[in-house]
């Protein structure tokens, strides 16, 4: 069994340490970043202020008055050594279902509105992504995209935004697309987009450049609500989740939306232990076994 990539550490100003596991996005680099940042949270090291995992790296913010930079670096190197063997990695994860209305009129409208910013103005975003990935049948494309489970590898850009990387799929079968030539100035909340190899659900309205292929029936972020004197913020996402898009039609999309508005919708999700070693041994078959019990 191979070892995971070796990490390169850099000081970033007086309060940050940047840890680069690899230059390229890969499952093994992200698994290692997740395992290390999870362990850092578990240890609750005095002086560590924030822990931010990314696709193939992580960033630590610390208070230099509470922990010297060199001491923290030694902590990180020690943890890094213990998280470089896949046989020692078991990650606590969740599978979360995202009901998705593909090729919907909302994102088609946005495709038309911003077509002058896209590579092929004659096609909707959905049709463009189908075309460049070699699909001529709409249902076959929807089946291919929704059959892939997606690992949440990074969060950022806007509150609740989460990058989804497909698991258990060979590189040549990953659905991917170039971003807009020039970004849109507006994107509807809950739009589902594809950019590069990543899928993204836009949590709030705003600019964006991913190709829009559908709408999530459920929110992934809710604005702060004041309850009992405290601001409550809802984020569906957490790093290390696995999301599974389930195709729905207009009728089910609207029904789920009504349940969300009433506060009665129950997200379908399941906690489980993910074995990195088993995943690299079995690949898509390990993922299929996980999905069968979901």
Fold exhibited by the domain 93-292:
Cyclophilin (2.40.100)
Q: What is the DSSP letter of 247?
A: E
pLDDT in tens, 146-159: 999 999 998 888 88
Over 80: is that where the pLDDT of 294 sits? no
For the segment 104-135, what is each residue's pLDDT rounded down to a tens digit? 999 999 999 999 999 999 999 999 999 999 99
- More confident site: 237 or 97: 97
Query: Tokens 């697309």 identify what position?
Result: 177
What was the pLDDT predicted at 2?
56
DSSP 191-204: EEEEEBTEEEE--S
Alpha-carbon distance of 155 to 211, in angstroms, equals 19
Unique residue bearing structure tokens 């240890």? 43
Q: Which of 3, 192, 2, 14 is nearest to 103 (CA)?
A: 192
Which band of pLDDT confidence, cut at 50, 70 and 90, is reported for residue 22?
Answer: confident
Q: What global pTM score does this model have?
A: 0.90
Whether the CB-CB separation of 1 and 7 falls below 8 Å is answered with no
Average pLDDT over residues 78-98: 85
Q: Do 277 and 1 meet the contact criterion of CB atoms below 8 Å apart?
A: yes
Start-end of CATH 2.40.100.10 domains in the chain: 93-292
Block residue for tokens 């070892």: 3
Give kind and range of the element (H or E) at residue 254: helix 250-262
- Check residue 169 and give its pLDDT: 85
**What is the per-residue pLDDT for 226?**
53
Residue 275's SS3 state is strand
Strand order in the sheet with 48-53: 8-12, 16-20, 57-62, 48-53
Residue with tokens 């506060």: 263
> How large is the average pLDDT for residues 243-256?
97
Q: Report the top-level CATH class of 8-88.
A: alpha beta
How far is 36 from 39, CA to CA, in rounded Å? Answer: 5
Express as a percent the part of the chain with pLDDT over 70.
95
288 three-class SS: helix
pLDDT at 272 over 80: yes
Which residues of the chain are in CATH 3.30.1360.40 domains?
Answer: 8-88
- The H or E element that residue 29 is part of is helix 27-43
The pLDDT, as a whole number, for residue 230 is 53
Measured between alpha carbons, how far is 210 from 177 in angstroms, rounded to an integer? 8
d(CA 168, CA 135): 20
Residues 48, 51, 52: CA angle, nearest 5 degrees: 155
């Amino acid at each position: 069994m191979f070892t995971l990539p070796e990490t390169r550490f850099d000081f970033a100003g007086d309060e940050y340490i940047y840890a680069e596991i690899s230059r390229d996005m890969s499952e093994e680099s992200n698994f290692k970043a997740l395992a290390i940042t999870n362990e850092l949270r578990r240890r609750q090291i005095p002086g560590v202020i924030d822990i931010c995992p990314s696709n193939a790296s992580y960033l630590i913010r610390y208070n230099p008055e509470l922990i010297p930079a060199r001491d923290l670096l030694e902590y990180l190197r020690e943890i890094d050594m213990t998280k470089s063997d896949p046989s020692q990695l078991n990650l606590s994860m969740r599978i979360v279902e995202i009901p998705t209305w593909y090729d919907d009129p909302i994102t088609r409208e946005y495709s038309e509105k911003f077509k002058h910013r896209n590579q092929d103005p004659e096609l909707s975003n959905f049709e463009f992504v189908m075309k460049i990935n070699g699909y001529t049948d709409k249902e076959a494309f929807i089946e291919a995209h929704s059959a892939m489970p997606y690992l949440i590898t990074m969060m950022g850009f806007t509150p609740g935004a989460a990058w989804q990387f497909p698991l258990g799929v060979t590189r040549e079968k990953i659905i991917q697309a170039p971003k807009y030539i020039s970004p849109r100035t507006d994107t509807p909340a809950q739009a589902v987009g594809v950019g590069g190899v990543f899928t993204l659900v836009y949590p709030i309205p705003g600019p964006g450049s991913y190709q829009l292929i559908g709408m999530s029936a459920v929110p992934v972020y809710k604005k702060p609500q004041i309850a009992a004197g405290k601001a409550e913020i809802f984020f569906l996402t957490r790093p290390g989740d696995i999301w599974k898009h389930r195709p729905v039609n207009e009728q089910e999309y609207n029904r789920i939306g009504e349940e969300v508005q009433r506060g009665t919708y129950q997200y379908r999700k399941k906690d489980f232990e993910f074995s990195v070693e088993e995943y690299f041994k079995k690949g898509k078959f390990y993922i299929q076994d996980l999905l069968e019990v979901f």
